């Protein structure tokens, strides 16, 4: 008697079978790990001009996460549009900024404060070099290291402040975030 074999159709969306020689798993560094969490937090952002996230970590533990969004109970840009404000920069260039939302770096500091979590000596991970206001808050909170995924077009004053205050600043990618 001949053995019957059935030809099964592949299931749509099913993952392919692993090859006989699977690739070796490489664990991310701690910085890479916290940056991935930062990118996940950014998905909660409610302003399409800057969907950024931020993470504060210490001793290889997440202390708080934050993202760009309106204050609690207030309308979001994604719902009602931007609240634009014109700013004259040091170089005389006029730029427009949405002021409806709280920056991710401000939000992560507030989340830690609301929970009574000290961030003294911690590392803050962010999408781009923090603005000058955020940089001052970071220094005042006692953060000792800032890791930015990208540079910010107007981040020079922030980097200078970090240097003066003894805050280590590390830039992951040298390209500049512009918006």
Taken in order 34, 52, 178, 146, is the CA torsion positive or negative?
negative
Question: Which DSSP string corresponds to 5-21?
Answer: ---PPPPTTPPPPPPSS
> Coil, strand, or helix at residue 134?
helix
Q: Which of 32, 36, 105, 120 is catalytic?
A: 105
Question: 104-136: buried (b, 16+ CB within 10 Å) or exposed (e) per residue?
Answer: bbbbbbebbeeeeeebeebbbbbbbbbbbebbe
- 105 noted as active-site residue: yes
The answer to whether residues 87 and 109 touch, using CB atoms and an 8 Å cutoff, is: no
Question: 65-78: buried (b, 16+ CB within 10 Å) or exposed (e) per residue?
Answer: bbbbbbeeeeeebe
How many whole angstroms separate alpha carbon 26 and alpha carbon 21? 15
Query: What residues are annotated to the active site?
Result: 105
């Amino acid at each position: 008697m001949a053995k019957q074999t059935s030809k099964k159709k592949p299931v749509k969306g099913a993952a392919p079978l692993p090859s006989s020689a699977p690739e070796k798993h490489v664990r991310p560094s701690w910085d890479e790990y916290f940056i991935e969490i930062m990118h996940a937090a950014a998905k909660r952002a409610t302003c399409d001009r800057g969907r950024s996230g931020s993470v504060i970590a210490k001793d290889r533990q997440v202390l708080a996460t934050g993202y760009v969004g309106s204050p609690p109970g207030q309308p979001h840009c994604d719902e009602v549009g931007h609240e634009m404000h014109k700013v004259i920069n040091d170089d005389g260039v006029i730029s427009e900024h949405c002021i409806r939302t709280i920056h991710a770096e401000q939000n992560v500091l507030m989340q830690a404060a609301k929970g009574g979590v000290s961030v003294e000596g911690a590392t803050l991970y962010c999408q781009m070099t923090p603005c000058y206001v955020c940089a001052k808050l970071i220094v005042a909170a006692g953060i000792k290291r800032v890791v930015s995924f990208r540079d910010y077009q107007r981040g020079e004053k922030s980097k200078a402040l970090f240097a003066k205050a003894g805050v280590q600043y590390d830039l992951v990618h040298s390209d500049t975030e512009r918006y």
